[in-house]
Chain A
Amino acid sequence: MRTNWKRATQLVSASAVALLALSACGGGDIASETQQNEQNAGSDGDCGDVNMALNPWVGYTADAYVFGAVAADKYGCNMVYKDLKEDVSWQGFGTGDVDIVIEDWGHPDLEDKFFAEKGDGSATNVGDLGATGIIGWFVPPWLAEAHPDILDYKNLNKYAKDFATSESGGQGQFLGADPSYVQFDEAIVKNLGLDFKVVFSGSEAASISAFQKAEENKEFLIGYFYEPQWLFADVDLQRVALPPYTDGCQDDPAKVACDYPETPLQKVASTKWLDSGSPAVDLLKKFNFTNDDQNTVAKYIEEDKMSPEDAAAKWVADNADKVASWTS
């Protein structure tokens, strides 16, 4: 019995060695694909891995995957997408975990910590994305039509009771989105003396379905929303006017009592990565993506249920001239 066992072991190890030797030179189609990738990567300097943070809203996904599609196709970059909230993404610049945040809506506190002027310099602003972000308070179109005066914050208290739900404790309900987004709604409500309570939907998708449902069933709903967003093509949400934004009125988060500014969305990248000589750095600098571009791709993903890769590939194929202007 013992010899049997021994023989079996010998057999196994012998065949293992033989197989490994064979597999080392084996290749066929896999080898040629590898070669192809190597050539792609070699043509314009070594790109390697590019760590792209994916912040949790579909517009961001659209930008990120279009950038990734071009980077992988033209420079052979290996795109690594990381689902992260905004604050965590910024922490990753210093450690090499994150190279790019492609759509930043303005984070003065994070800029103080990570930009060179005041912080550790691990992050650098690469410039405008090309899209403009508009955050604001929105109501469904039927409501704006039925009660036009609701579009002025001064009249909101009049309707507070109509906005009440089981969650708002007798006050009106204001629907917040994902707590990680740039927002000052609790402070605005408090400082403008509005009889509302902020209740969070938890995600972009939950807010979208709430607005769709409110429009469909003609329900009262007011909440945090933003452009660029593909939903506006379907449900043309109307913005409620708050006291206009002035410079510095949002500096102290607890004292905010004004509307959100129009934000030119920024591209932010890790300083280390920018200095790495990756060919994708140049692409990032030239990358320009407008509100319309973003809405197109976001709609492919959200409404047509395409995968982000397919949606980006489709847009890239349809917009060869724009892509060419980034890579020249």
Chain B
Amino acid sequence: MTVLASKPEPGAAPPPVEVESRRAAAARKWVWTAIIIAVWVVLWRIFHGDATLTLGQRDHTPLHQDLTGFRDSVLASRDTNPFVSLTYSIGERLTSFADWLSRMISTKDFPRPYPQIGWLGVVAIATWIGYAVANLRIAVLVLVSFLAFGAFGYWEDSIDLLIVTMLAVLIAVLIGLPLAVYYGTGGKVGVGILTTLMDIAQTMPTFVYLGPIVLFFGIGTSAGVVCTLVYALPPIIRIAGHGLRRVSPTTIEATDSSGQTSWQRLTKVQLPMARATIVVGLNQTIMAALSMATLAAFVASPGLGKPVLRALQSNDVGGATVPGLLIVLMAIMLDRTTTAASLRAEKASRGGHDPKWRRIILAVTAVVALALVYVSRTYSWAAGYDNFLAQLKSSAGIDLTSLGRNTANLVDDVFNWISSTFDGITEAIKNIISYGLLNPLQDLLSESPWFVTGLAIVAMASLLGSIRGFVSAVVGCALLWYFDLWHDAMITLNMVLVATLLVMILALVFGVWMARSRTVDFILRPLLDAGQTIPPFVYLIPVLALFDATRFTAIIAATVYAAPVAIKLVADGISGVSATTLEASRSTGATTWQEITKVQLPMAKSSLVLATNQGLLYVLSMVVIGGMVGAGALGYDAVLGFARSEEWGKGAAAGITIVVLGVMIDRICRAAAADPNDQSSRLQLEWVKARARFQGSRSTV
């Protein structure tokens, strides 16, 4: 969440001979933790059910009423309030521009039965752009992707998603780059405020601001673009800003000595030198935008999210999988294209000129592309993809007309087989974890008096993170209490903890395995990439069918969602352990098990801590989706607030509570990891690097 580098603490470096005492300190910590938990359990037994601050599912407090009242007053004043009319006119302009684009390339431009440029023309232009900005391989990838959008029957939705995503990215770059410059070069206070704002934007569940955005910007494309923007803006600011800050001070000093203005310094030195990082930021912004644009289907924003959402409403596993995979394909296409484009641009900036033949090819293919545009405006088979498929069937005998539905049916069959075959097993797993772990832990967290749980959290945070942990926990718990959803927050916290535990088990097993075997790494990595880009709704449906509407469903969905990041972090951390250290341990005759537990894992400790932290935050971001499938608590409150206008205040409070939980956990983790007994500066650097790498690749809800 934060990439703000903290200053190394002078004097905190560990004295060399203190290994023994450090071990003793660790043991002391464990003893104290055990004591705290023991006291907590005793108090829980005594005061079970007292002062739990439980709020009925449809009850609200005056605070929630006030929030709802505020929303109502904005809604009532929307015709007269100048701010609302400003945002409305912005929204209208966004919508009409996106509509115009979509009538050009995706949907029928009524009364014309097709868009102005038919599918063939769009494919031709896109492929040409792929070649122009990158290379032939990218052009082929773009060509195949676009053909797949149509062949599976989702041409219009795919292009609409592309339009919404690109529009949001364009605005994100326009707003984000200046902010990134400030973030990379500005003063401490301003940067701190910006960081907090970005933290909130990325942790706040979308459902909470989806409602207000509709209020200010209207339904449809405009709301879609704006909520995508909120979520996609932080990565480019963070990562580009980080790149700017990293430009070496010696270079700046050297060029400053030649008497340049600060504008010259920025445009001639800092921006060019941070170019590669800025492109990474752009890339991450595109990925974030793509994942959020899918979710914007909840406010009727066009795109592939629409069929996915409809499939969720009708429990259609196959019907969700096909558009879900097309989203993954689009993500891969955009990711590879931007990466390749940045490489080409870098080469060009170093003075490598395009060879002559390439320019000739570009010119010739441009003509071909335009010719195809003309064809796509003239013939109906080149204008509507359906017509093309029908033509293909009648004249060439190739029947692709129901490729999408057939694929969906195949997925359905496979899935039905799985769910009927393993029905008993899944039920058993669900019950073992629910009754064995989930229920007791939830009882302890939520049925203790609130001040007991709160004190236990504060005590453990202080133990692990000393003074910074203490402050974070106190502020966090106070805010949780203030927003009147303590009981729900504890139930959510419980689910988050259990899911994170599962994530870390997976991360350790697969992370170690990947780090130790190149083959495993090679096979798993693409799967993990796909796991990070596929919209959560897609796998929510099968998980729901396997485990019913329960907290367990939510936990599994969250685990699937968070595991790829954690696995990658652990694998990268362990691969980073130096080969010489491993050699040394092997020469002492250590077994594989000893090598893993005594050398690799301890040496990769910072990565493990980071993986846990990121796992937690990813899991937290799935909480709201869990609320839609019977998991209840904060997620349900947020969904309810979006769905029913009289509950908006409670939903907003739930959203804020989720943010508070996320930020509190993050700060406690960081305080714990920055334990002065560890090499704190190295750890912080790792932290910053890894976060920058993963920032934005997550798609929150």
Interface residues of A (CB under 8 A from B): 1, 4-5, 8-9, 11-12, 15-16, 19, 22-23, 26-30, 33-34, 37-38, 41, 48-49, 56-58, 76, 78, 82-88, 90-92, 94-95, 97-98, 109-110, 113, 120, 165-167, 169, 175, 178-180, 184, 186-187, 190, 198-206, 208-210, 253-254, 302
Q: A180-B643, A210-B548 are in contact. Are A199 and B377 (CB under 8 A)?
A: no
26 contacts between A and B (CB under 8 A): A4-B360, A8-B363, A19-B374, A22-B374, A26-B378, A34-B113, A37-B113, A82-B300, A83-B297, A84-B219, A84-B300, A88-B214, A91-B75, A95-B88, A166-B434, A167-B549, A179-B640, A180-B643, A199-B630, A201-B549, A202-B544, A202-B628, A204-B313, A204-B314, A206-B544, A210-B548
Contact assessment for B300 and A16 in the assembled complex, using a CB-CB cutoff below 8 Å:
no
Contact assessment for B377 and A302 in the assembled complex, using a CB-CB cutoff below 8 Å:
no
Contact assessment for B644 and A180 in the assembled complex, using a CB-CB cutoff below 8 Å:
yes
Contact assessment for A179 and B300 in the assembled complex, using a CB-CB cutoff below 8 Å:
no
Contact assessment for A166 and B374 in the assembled complex, using a CB-CB cutoff below 8 Å:
no
Which residues of chain B have C-beta atoms less than 8 A from A109's C-beta? Answer: 645-646
Q: In the complex, what distance in Å separates the CA atom of A41 from the CA atom of B110?
A: 10
Q: A82-B220, A83-B309 are in contact. Are A254 and B113 (CB under 8 A)?
A: no
Which residues of chain B have C-beta atoms less than 8 A from A56's C-beta? Answer: 313
Which residues of chain A have C-beta atoms less than 8 A from B430's C-beta? Answer: 166
Nearest residue, chain A, Cβ from B210 = A88
Q: In the complex, what distance in Å separates the CA atom of A70 from the CA atom of B13?
A: 78
- In-complex Cβ contact of B111 among A37, A206, A253 (8 A): A37
Which residues of chain A have C-beta atoms less than 8 A from B640's C-beta? Answer: 179
Contact assessment for B642 and A201 in the assembled complex, using a CB-CB cutoff below 8 Å:
no
Which residues of chain A have C-beta atoms less than 8 A from B367's C-beta? Answer: 11-12, 15
Contact assessment for A199 and B359 in the assembled complex, using a CB-CB cutoff below 8 Å:
no
Which residues of chain B have C-beta atoms less than 8 A from A29's C-beta? Answer: 379-380
A12 CB, nearest partner CB in chain B, Å: 5
A307 CB, nearest partner CB in chain B, Å: 9
Which residues of chain A have C-beta atoms less than 8 A from B83's C-beta? Answer: none
Contact assessment for B219 and A97 in the assembled complex, using a CB-CB cutoff below 8 Å:
yes
Q: Does B410 contact A (CB under 8 A)?
A: no
A83 CB, nearest partner CB in chain B, Å: 6
Q: A8-B360, A27-B378 are in contact. Are A34 and B112 (CB under 8 A)?
A: yes
Max chain B Cβ within 10 angstroms of own Cβ: one of A15, A169, A302: A15
Q: Does B4 contact A (CB under 8 A)?
A: no
When each residue 554-565 of chain B gets 1 if its CB lies under 8 Å from chain A and 0 otherwise, what string results?
A: 000000000000
Nearest residue, chain A, Cβ from B646 = A109
Nearest residue, chain A, Cβ from B58 = A186
Which residues of chain A have C-beta atoms less than 8 A from B438's C-beta? Answer: 166
Q: A84-B300, A202-B630 are in contact. Are A33 and B380 (CB under 8 A)?
A: yes
Contact assessment for B380 and A78 in the assembled complex, using a CB-CB cutoff below 8 Å:
no
Number of A-B contacts (CB under 8 A): 193
Q: In the complex, what distance in Å separates the CA atom of A209 from the CA atom of B113?
A: 39
Which residues of chain B have C-beta atoms less than 8 A from A167's C-beta? Answer: 434, 549-551, 630, 632
Q: What are the 4 closest A-B residue pairs judged by CB atoms, nearest first?
A: A180-B643, A8-B363, A37-B111, A205-B315
Enumerate B69-112 residues with CB–CB distance to A below 8 Å: 72, 75-76, 78-79, 88, 108, 110-112
Q: A4-B356, A19-B371, A92-B219 are in contact. Are A87 and B114 (CB under 8 A)?
A: no
Q: Does B280 contact A (CB under 8 A)?
A: no
Nearest residue, chain A, Cβ from B405 = A305
Which residues of chain B have C-beta atoms less than 8 A from A187's C-beta? Answer: 58
Contact assessment for A37 and B110 in the assembled complex, using a CB-CB cutoff below 8 Å:
yes
Which residues of chain B have C-beta atoms less than 8 A from A78's C-beta? Answer: 108, 110
Q: Does B56 contact A (CB under 8 A)?
A: yes
A253 CB, nearest partner CB in chain B, Å: 6
Q: In the complex, what distance in Å separates the CA atom of A90 from the CA atom of B646?
A: 13
Contact assessment for A206 and B315 in the assembled complex, using a CB-CB cutoff below 8 Å:
yes
Contact assessment for A28 and B78 in the assembled complex, using a CB-CB cutoff below 8 Å:
no
Interface residues of B (CB under 8 A from A): 56-59, 72, 75-76, 78-79, 88, 108, 110-114, 211, 214-215, 218-220, 297-300, 306, 309-310, 312-316, 356, 359-360, 362-363, 366-367, 370-371, 373-374, 377-380, 383, 430-431, 434-435, 438-439, 544-545, 548-552, 628-630, 632, 636, 639-640, 642-646
A125 CB, nearest partner CB in chain B, Å: 18
Q: In the complex, what distance in Å separates the CA atom of A97 from the CA atom of B325?
A: 30
Q: A5-B359, A167-B550 are in contact. Are A91 and B214 (CB under 8 A)?
A: yes
Looking at chain B's contact residues, is the secondary structure mostly helix, strand, loop, or mixed? helix
Which residues of chain A have C-beta atoms less than 8 A from B377's C-beta? Answer: 23, 26, 30
A216 CB, nearest partner CB in chain B, Å: 11
B71 CB, nearest partner CB in chain A, Å: 11
Q: In the complex, what distance in Å separates the CA atom of A104 from the CA atom of B312?
A: 22
B348 CB, nearest partner CB in chain A, Å: 15
Which residues of chain A have C-beta atoms less than 8 A from B214's C-beta? Answer: 88, 91
Contact assessment for B76 and A205 in the assembled complex, using a CB-CB cutoff below 8 Å:
no
Contact assessment for A200 and B636 in the assembled complex, using a CB-CB cutoff below 8 Å:
yes
Nearest residue, chain B, Cβ from A205 = B315
Q: In the complex, what distance in Å separates the CA atom of A190 from the CA atom of B54?
A: 14
Which residues of chain A have C-beta atoms less than 8 A from B370's C-beta? Answer: 12, 15-16, 19
Contact assessment for A92 and B363 in the assembled complex, using a CB-CB cutoff below 8 Å:
no
B502 CB, nearest partner CB in chain A, Å: 17
Which residues of chain B have C-beta atoms less than 8 A from A48's C-beta? Answer: 110
Nearest residue, chain A, Cβ from B365 = A12
A30 CB, nearest partner CB in chain B, Å: 6
Which residues of chain A have C-beta atoms less than 8 A from B306's C-beta? Answer: 83
Contact assessment for B439 and A166 in the assembled complex, using a CB-CB cutoff below 8 Å:
yes
Contact assessment for A8 and B111 in the assembled complex, using a CB-CB cutoff below 8 Å:
no
Apart from the given pairs A19-B374, A30-B114, 18 other A-B contacts in the complex at a CB distance below 8 Å: A8-B362, A12-B367, A19-B370, A30-B113, A78-B108, A83-B309, A87-B643, A91-B214, A91-B219, A92-B218, A113-B645, A166-B552, A179-B636, A202-B544, A202-B629, A203-B312, A204-B314, A210-B548
Contact assessment for A120 and B645 in the assembled complex, using a CB-CB cutoff below 8 Å:
no
Q: A23-B377, A87-B645, A110-B645 are in contact. Are A97 and B111 (CB under 8 A)?
A: no
Nearest residue, chain B, Cβ from A28 = B378
Which residues of chain A have C-beta atoms less than 8 A from B383's C-beta? Answer: 30
Q: In the complex, what distance in Å separates the CA atom of A19 from the CA atom of B438?
A: 67
Which residues of chain A have C-beta atoms less than 8 A from B113's C-beta? Answer: 30, 33-34, 37
Max chain A Cβ within 10 angstroms of own Cβ: one of B108, B314, B544, B550: B314
Q: A41-B111, A91-B219, A113-B75 are in contact. Are A1 and B629 (CB under 8 A)?
A: no
Which residues of chain A have C-beta atoms less than 8 A from B356's C-beta? Answer: 1, 4
Q: In the complex, what distance in Å separates the CA atom of A87 from the CA atom of B431?
A: 36
Q: In the complex, what distance in Å separates the CA atom of A258 from the CA atom of B180?
A: 58
Contact assessment for A87 and B549 in the assembled complex, using a CB-CB cutoff below 8 Å:
no
Contact assessment for A178 and B434 in the assembled complex, using a CB-CB cutoff below 8 Å:
no
Which residues of chain B have C-beta atoms less than 8 A from A38's C-beta? Answer: 111
Which residues of chain A have C-beta atoms less than 8 A from B374's C-beta? Answer: 19, 22-23, 26
Max chain A Cβ within 10 angstroms of own Cβ: one of B359, B439, B549: B549
Contact assessment for A186 and B56 in the assembled complex, using a CB-CB cutoff below 8 Å:
yes
Q: A15-B367, A206-B549 are in contact. Are A23 and B642 (CB under 8 A)?
A: no
Nearest residue, chain B, Cβ from A39 = B111
Which residues of chain B have C-beta atoms less than 8 A from A209's C-beta? Answer: 315, 545
Which residues of chain B have C-beta atoms less than 8 A from A190's C-beta? Answer: 56
Contact assessment for A88 and B219 in the assembled complex, using a CB-CB cutoff below 8 Å:
yes
Which residues of chain A have C-beta atoms less than 8 A from B56's C-beta? Answer: 186, 190
Contact assessment for A28 and B315 in the assembled complex, using a CB-CB cutoff below 8 Å:
no
Q: In the complex, what distance in Å separates the CA atom of A179 from the CA atom of B315?
A: 16
Q: In the complex, what distance in Å separates the CA atom of A302 from the CA atom of B549?
A: 21
Contact assessment for B314 and A30 in the assembled complex, using a CB-CB cutoff below 8 Å:
no
Nearest residue, chain B, Cβ from A96 = B218
Which residues of chain A have C-beta atoms less than 8 A from B220's C-beta? Answer: 82, 97
Which residues of chain B have C-beta atoms less than 8 A from A8's C-beta? Answer: 359-360, 362-363
Nearest residue, chain B, Cβ from A9 = B363
Q: In the complex, what distance in Å separates the CA atom of A90 from the CA atom of B113?
A: 30
Contact assessment for A253 and B628 in the assembled complex, using a CB-CB cutoff below 8 Å:
no
Q: In the complex, what distance in Å separates the CA atom of A12 from the CA atom of B370?
A: 9
Contact assessment for B644 and A87 in the assembled complex, using a CB-CB cutoff below 8 Å:
yes
Nearest residue, chain B, Cβ from A97 = B219
Q: In the complex, what distance in Å separates the CA atom of A253 from the CA atom of B675?
A: 51
Nearest residue, chain A, Cβ from B95 = A97
